Structure 1
Amino acid sequence: MPEELDDVLAAFAQQIETRFQMSLGQLRDAVTAAPEASPEATTVARWYGHLEEAQELLSRAEDELVLALDRAPAGELEDPVMALADRVNTLVAVRDGRAMVVRHLLDDNAPGKSAPGAWHGVSRTGPAIATTPVARPAAVPAVPVRGGMR
């Protein structure tokens, strides 16, 4: 695994360890033993595991692509090589999506986490924006109809 990716996973691991005041291994053991004890820890540990899995799959797919590119004739990329490149692109999107979820879970100021709202089960009793009734003009008298035209 490239060093910069190790750094990204290590940075997330460090944030998780700081937040829960235990090593990632201890957190995983605690979550496995009692997942209902801390739903937040359970969710973070699960998504970090998904992120690690996605990174591992991506690294393998990239290695396969590099090998296929080395074997491919110069200037020609056949369908199997293009399929591998497509797979790498898909796995990058999966990995990045999982990283965004972990980042969101660790961010206390993320949208929807800092203030209660309808998405947290708090229902509103009034309009979202204070409104005033629209002023309506007095009724206009009807114009008499002459000769069948208005």
Structure 2
Amino acid sequence: MTDGISDEPADVVGLLTERIEDRFGMGVDQLKAAVAAAPTANRDATDVVKWHGLLVEAQSVLERAEDDLLAALQTQPSEVDDPTMDLAHRVDAAVTTRDGRAVVVKFFLDPDAPGRKDLAAERLARLRPRTGPAVQTSAPHRPGGVPAPASAVRAGRPAR
């Protein structure tokens, strides 16, 4: 991948931490403190801090799982036993979790990511008061002056 995340999987957290610091112009610890002080001031910062924390946690789980697997493999003969395979599956699951969280952090860092502009518009729409009814309140107009059947009007859907 060209985003740098998959090219250097061992330092995903470091790479994204740098990107967070560049984007917000402060260290992650400062950003965490700012978000803690005013969690609603900048929704992007709040989301990034939350998911960065989850990413750091997932990286820690992955490192412990890798250490456990390595220790088990060093005591194994040429065949891997079931408990060691379970450790390998644990490492795989931890990588998947870490990478998924990295993708979420990357998403929140990119204001032009697909879906981000729609999310911003949706957030704005929630802040604006409604100016009219949310649903149609009258029977739909039918071409040719033919009224809709009463059953369709009662059900709230136009007849076909």
Superposition TM-score, scaled by structure 2 size: 0.66
In structure 1, list runs of 5 or more residues that go unmatched.
123-150
The alignment status of 1:98 with 2:101, answered yes or no, reads: yes
- Please tell me whether Structure 1 or Structure 2 has the larger radius of gyration of its CA atoms: 1
- Go from structure 1 to structure 2 and tell me whether the alpha carbon gap of 1:55 and 1:112 turns closer, same or farther (over 3 Å shift): same
* TM-fit CA distance, 1:7: 3.8
Q: How does 1:75-114 map to 2 (within 5 A)?
A: 76-114=79-117
Partner of 1:62: 66
The alignment status of 1:39 with 2:37, answered yes or no, reads: no
Q: Deviations over 1:101-137 (max 9, x none)?
A: 0111111221112357986676xxxxxxxxxxxxxxx
CA distance in 1, matches of 2:14, 2:100: 17
CA distance in 2, matches of 1:10, 1:41: 18
1:19 to 13, 19, 23: 23
Asked if structure 2 preserves the Cα contact closer than 8 Å seen for 1:28 and 1:45, the reply is yes
CA distance in 2, matches of 1:117, 1:40: 10
Asked if structure 2 preserves the Cα contact closer than 8 Å seen for 1:61 and 1:84, the reply is yes
Q: Deviations over 1:8-52 (max 9, x none)?
A: 322211211121121111001111122122221111011011111
Aligned residues: percent identity? Answer: 47
In structure 2, list runs of 5 or more residues that go unmatched.
1-7, 126-160
Deviant stretches of 4+, over 3 Å? 4-7, 114-122
- 1:37 maps to a residue whose letter is A
- 1:13 maps to a residue whose letter is T
Which is richer in helix?
Answer: 2
* TM-fit CA distance, 1:5: 5.0
- Go from structure 1 to structure 2 and tell me whether the alpha carbon gap of 1:23 and 1:115 turns closer, same or farther (over 3 Å shift): same
Aligned-pair RMSD on alpha carbons?
A: 2.4
* TM-fit CA distance, 1:73: 1.7
Asked if structure 2 preserves the Cα contact closer than 8 Å seen for 1:61 and 1:87, the reply is yes
Partner of 2:14: 10
CA distance in 2, matches of 1:57, 1:116: 31
CA distance in 2, matches of 1:59, 1:119: 38
